[in-house]
Structures are given as structure tokens and as C-alpha cells.
Amino acid sequence: MLNTATSLISDVIGNDHKNSAFVYGCYSLFDKFANGTILFIAVDKFSAHENALRWIMSGVPISCAILGFILTVIGKKYYGHKMALLITSMTDETEDKKDEQ
């Protein structure tokens, strides 16, 4: 899941190398705040119910992994050819710039 998330962040950044560290930092900060808030709420609401908290703490990551896998398969099936064309065109542009130098 981490590799998929990093790949999606790099798609957002694109060729903007000057601001890439800021974008990665913002995503990381948001991720930490979101996870901390959700964890705090879950523990606060279900601290009296051990089994419910166990199911939540084990079920949510597994569910997210399955959902991420399904969305990745769907994305590859319907948008994979577009990404291949985009990557190919970016590679061609880079090679053209190298040839000009």
C-alpha cells in the first residue's frame, strides 16, 4: 500500500522537482494527523470493549489493503493504456532533450 501511495503522490507532483519535497511533506503530515485522529477516536469510543477494538484494529488495515488492491486492478484495467502512453511520451520528451544537448 505504501508503494501505491508513493506512486500516486509522484503522479501528483509530475515533473515539478522544485516543490516535490514540500508535496511529499504535506502528504506525510496529513497522513500522520489523519491516522492519529482516527486512532484516538477508535480507542476513545471502544476502550471499554476489548473485542470490538481488536476487530477494528485488525479489520481496518486488512479492508484498506483489499480495497486498495481492487482499486489498483480497476485502475490498471481501465486506465493502464493511458498511463503507458503518458509514460512513453514523457520518456520520448526526455530523450529528445538529451539529443538536443
- Count of structural domains, the chain: 1
Mean pLDDT for each consecutive 10-residue tract of the chain (101 residues)? 72 76 86 90 87 88 90 82 65 56 58
SS3 for the chain, per residue? CHHHHHHHHHHHHCCCCCCHHHHHHHHHHHHHHHHHHHHHHHHHHHCCCHHHHHHHHHHHHHHHHHHHHHHHHHHHHHHHHHHHHHHHHHHHHHHHHHHHC
Instruction: Tell me, yes or no, if the pTM score tops 0.85.
Output: no
> What's the pLDDT tens digit per position in 52-65?
888 888 898 899 88
Per-residue model confidence (pLDDT) at position 70: 93
Per-residue model confidence (pLDDT) at position 61: 86
The domain of 90 spans: 2-100
